[in-house]
């Protein structure tokens, strides 16, 4: 995984200023790229210009090291790899646009080579994600069977480590929003082997509500988050339980 992180961190650093300017934090890298374009022969530069270029390169290298360190320190391999995958998809779309618009055949070939590199990185990340999924066992949530007809707040549902960890991994940044606004709750149900917990935000039940479902047979957690009448479903196995499908509509 460290090899993948390192490869991603340096991919396309100087291929296109257009890529860099999508991220303000990469101003130093863009400056280096521009400087290198203007310089035909480094050895013919006056000493002062050499020092300026050296300073720019050191600054850019420091910036890339910080970005790499932040990825390497990622606590959850799955979350980290998904962030990398998202970044690669953005690079993929940008390069496709560059190839389409480029008139110069030599530069177009550069973009095409870069695109091929990105595709290879995406494949590596996908394989790594599959590997992580296979090697990390899910935490069992059978304890939820005992919670039927009780209220989530009554059984302190979100304080269960196994449950909260899986739900947090499923929802990502939306986990905090759900927990914070899981206010007006109904009793927990178990329907056809599926755990169901429902709640809405206080004074806003018509537009902001939530549903959590767990299929015991498939060991699959799902959740629906509706905010201001806009609903989104999250599922560990890609399937939507019937109860959540009803809730959406």
SS3 percent helix, strand, coil of the chain, rounded to 5, is 60, 15, 25
* pTM over the 0.75 mark: no
Q: What gap in Å lies between CA 27 and CA 14, rounded to an integer? A: 12
Domains of the chain: residue spans and CATH: 2-135 (no CATH), 142-248 (3.40.1420)
CA 223 remoteness from chain centre: 18
Name the pairing type of β-strands 209-215 and 194-200.
antiparallel
Q: How far is CA 230 from CA 98, 137, 207, 209, in A?
A: 34, 33, 8, 10
The CA-to-CA distance between both ends of the chain, in Å, stands at 41
The one-digit pLDDT tens for each residue of the chain (249 residues) are 444 444 444 444 444 444 444 444 444 445 545 554 444 445 555 666 656 666 665 665 565 555 444 444 444 566 666 777 788 888 888 888 888 888 888 888 888 888 888 888 888 777 777 666 555 567 789 999 999 999 999 999 999 999 999 999 999 889 999 999 999 999 999 999 999 999 999 999 989 999 999 999 999 999 999 999 999 999 998 899 999 999 988
């Amino acid at each position: 995984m460290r090899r993948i992180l390192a490869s991603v961190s340096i991919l396309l650093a100087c291929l296109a200023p257009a890529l860099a300017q999508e991220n303000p934090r990469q101003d130093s890298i863009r400056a280096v790229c521009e400087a290198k374009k203007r310089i035909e022969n480094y050895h013919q530069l006056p000493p002062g210009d050499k020092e300026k270029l050296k300073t720019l390169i050191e600054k850019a290298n420091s910036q890339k090291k910080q970005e790499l360190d932040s990825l390497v320190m990622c606590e959850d391999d799955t979350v980290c790899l998904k962030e990398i995958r998202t970044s690669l998809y953005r690079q993929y779309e940008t390069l496709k646009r560059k190839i389409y618009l480029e008139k110069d055949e030599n530069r177009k070939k550069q973009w095409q080579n870069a695109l091929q590199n990105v595709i290879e990185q995406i494949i590596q990340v996908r394989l790594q994600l599959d590997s992580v999924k296979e090697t990390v066992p899910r935490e069992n949530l059978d304890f939820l069977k005992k919670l039927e007809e009780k209220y989530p707040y009554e059984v302190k549902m979100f304080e269960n480590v196994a449950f909260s960890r899986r739900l947090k991994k499923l929802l990502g940044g939306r986990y905090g929003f759900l927990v914070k606004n899981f206010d007006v709750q109904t009793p927990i149900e178990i329907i056809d082997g599926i755990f169901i917990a429902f709640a809405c935000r206080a004074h806003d039940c018509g537009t902001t509500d939530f549903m959590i479902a767990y299929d015991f047979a498939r060991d699959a957690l799902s959740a629906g988050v509706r905010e201001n009448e806009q609903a989104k479903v999250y599922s560990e196995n890609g399937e939507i339980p019937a109860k959540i499908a009803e809730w959406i509509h």
